[in-house]
Amino acid sequence: MSLYAAPVARLIEEFEKLPGIGRKTAQRLAFHVMNMPVEKVEGLANAIREARTRIKYCSVCSNLTDVDPCSICSNPSRDSSVICVVEDPRDVAAMERTREFKGLYHVLHGAISPMEGIGPEDIKIKELLERVRKNNIAEIILATNPNIEGEATAMYIAKLLKPLGIKTTRLAHGIPVGGDLEYADEVTLAKALEGRREI
Amino acid sequence: MSLYAAPVARLIEEFEKLPGIGRKTAQRLAFHVMNMPVEKVEGLANAIREARTRIKYCSVCSNLTDVDPCSICSNPSRDSSVICVVEDPRDVAAMERTREFKGLYHVLHGAISPMEGIGPEDIKIKELLERVRKNNIAEIILATNPNIEGEATAMYIAKLLKPLGIKTTRLAHGIPVGGDLEYADEVTLAKALEGRREI
């Protein structure tokens, strides 16, 4: 028997299924919901439902979108000859925040990870190659994460792109701007040193 | 302009409004929702809506319930002569977890807190007094939290009950002072119940 009325117990359970939400947080959220005005609760429930049902993958870049092609792929002022390859839609948002990149994206939806059983065919590499073959691409920026899986994925894609003779680049490693040299890890610092530039 | 498609941005915003959910967690939850099967998303949205619409205060004890009176108040095997007064429905769940208490509850929905502008009339003290006058009550256990607000609330209620000549007790210290009833483990809470004293 649950210690809470059925609808409360069910909501706590539902919240607990979400990533990073434990029992206590789930309870706190459930009780918060029960104290919210009804229209706010409707707003939350609808936002959840609509995000899931109205959002699709862009047929060009695989980013999440509610219009197809997405607003970036269909923007004529962007440079369609440069594609930035990222693992995740959140990485697109991170790149956009720089306001420096004017090309298009390609979202892989993951990285190659033999440990997790994710092979090249499980992420959107095939779609990238098709896109490269069909369009006039000058450069592919491989902006996968700077960890083992991301590096392996970048190397794998670079190998596939080699025969096509397209310029393939990787984001530079270095010390974060505004960071402190003292707190940079050795590997990052070594990479920053290696990639030093004349001023 | 948002960096995400409108329904995604809206969901992130909705999650961010929840207590203890920051920008990053809200994004993580939103992306999780978009990767969930549609029927699971419907389940979550419905659980949220139903918890809010189907849950009411019990007309007797003010605990949250989907039936009125609640399952505890309407349980004939419970001792209706003992009322345990708590601040919050979560505290009812905490007490029930001890399996030691066989009486009924009264949920105040808060504690007196001049700092937060919560006076005696803002919590369900009037309802408690009415209940005590109308029924044959042998004992009132004041199980408000062992912090300043909870102690003040207990003292205030004890004073009001004094003229009625009803035995009034407080949970024994065994509960860490300054702590929250909700986070106490079952054994400590059971000990506290067992060692309750008249005030």
Residues A83-101: pLDDT tens digits? 999 999 988 988 888 888 8
Q: What is the dihedral of CA A6, A8, A11, A13, to 10 degrees?
A: -70
Whether residues B55 and A18 touch (CB distance < 8 A) is answered with: no
Number of Cβ pairs < 8 A linking chain A and chain B? 146
Q: Which residues of A touch B5 (CB under 8 A)?
A: 55, 64-67, 70-71
Name which of A85-99, B6-20, B175-189 the model is least confident about.
Answer: B175-189
The three-class DSSP label of residue A134 is helix
Both tokens of B187, joined, read 């054994």
Picking from B13, B18, B52, the nearest residue to A34 by CB comes out as B52
Q: Which residues of A touch B183 (CB under 8 A)?
A: 24
CA dist B115 to B124, B144, B151, B156, B172, Å? 19, 17, 15, 16, 26
Chain B interface mutation, best of A48, A50, A73, highest count of B Cβ atoms under 10 Å = A48
> Does A22 contact B at CB distance below 8 Å?
no
**Shortest alpha-carbon distance between residue A163 and chain B (Å):** 34
**B167 neighbors B131 (Cβ within 8 angstroms):** no
Whether residues B7 and A46 touch (CB distance < 8 A) is answered with: no
Both tokens of B31, joined, read 């992306």
Whether residues B47 and A89 touch (CB distance < 8 A) is answered with: no
Q: Tens digits of per-residue pLDDT, A44-57?
A: 999 999 999 999 99
Both tokens of B25, joined, read 């967690």
pTM of the model: 0.72
In single-letter form, the type of residue at position A3 comes to: L
How would residue A63 be classed by pLDDT, with cut points 50, 70 and 90?
Answer: very high
Both tokens of A6, joined, read 């059925």
pLDDT at A94: 85
* B20: alpha, beta or left? (left if phi > 0; alpha if psi -120 to 50): left
Whether residues B14 and A92 touch (CB distance < 8 A) is answered with: no
Both tokens of B26, joined, read 């809200």
Q: Which residues of B touch A90 (CB under 8 A)?
A: 27, 31
d(CA A4, CA B154): 25
> Does B55 contact A at CB distance below 8 Å?
yes
Q: Would you give the distance in Å from CA A94 to the centre of its chain?
A: 8
Chain B interface mutation, best of A13, A33, A52, highest count of B Cβ atoms under 10 Å = A52
**Shortest alpha-carbon distance between residue B2 and chain A (Å):** 9
- B197 pLDDT higher than 70: no
Name which of A181-195, B23-37, B127-141, B145-159 the model is least confident about.
Answer: A181-195
pLDDT at B79: 96
Q: What is the dihedral of CA B96, B99, B104, B107, to 10 degrees?
A: -20
> Does A55 contact B at CB distance below 8 Å?
yes
Q: Which residues of B touch A55 (CB under 8 A)?
A: 5, 7-8, 34
Q: Tens digits of per-residue pLDDT, B48-101?
A: 999 999 999 999 999 999 999 999 999 999 999 999 999 999 899 888 988 889
Rounded mean pLDDT of chain B? 90
pLDDT at B177: 67
- B189 pLDDT higher than 70: yes
Q: What is the dihedral of CA B145, B147, B149, B152, to 10 degrees?
A: 90
Share above pLDDT 90 across residues of chain A, in percent, rounded to a whole number: 68
pLDDT at A2: 66
To the nearest 10 degrees (0 to 180), the angle between helices A6-16 and A23-34 is 130
> Does A56 contact B at CB distance below 8 Å?
no
Of all residues in chain A, the one with the smallest CA distance to B92 is A3
How would residue A124 be classed by pLDDT, with cut points 50, 70 and 90?
Answer: very high
Rounded mean pLDDT of chain A? 90
Q: Which residues of B touch A66 (CB under 8 A)?
A: 5-7
Query: How many other CB atoms are there within 10 angstroms of residue A9's CB atom?
Result: 17
Question: Count of residues for chain A?
Answer: 199
* DSSP codes, B31-48: HHHHHS-HHHHHHHHHHH
How would residue A109 be classed by pLDDT, with cut points 50, 70 and 90?
Answer: very high
**B188 neighbors B146 (Cβ within 8 angstroms):** no
Of A137, A129, A127, residue with least CA distance to A160: A129
**Shortest alpha-carbon distance between residue A193 and chain B (Å):** 31
In single-letter form, the type of residue at position A13 comes to: E
**Shortest alpha-carbon distance between residue B17 and chain A (Å):** 10
Whether residues A42 and B64 touch (CB distance < 8 A) is answered with: no
pLDDT at B187: 75
Whether residues B66 and A7 touch (CB distance < 8 A) is answered with: yes
Of all residues in chain A, the one with the smallest CA distance to B94 is A3
Picking from B17, B30, B64, the nearest residue to A51 by CB comes out as B30
- A193 pLDDT higher than 90: no
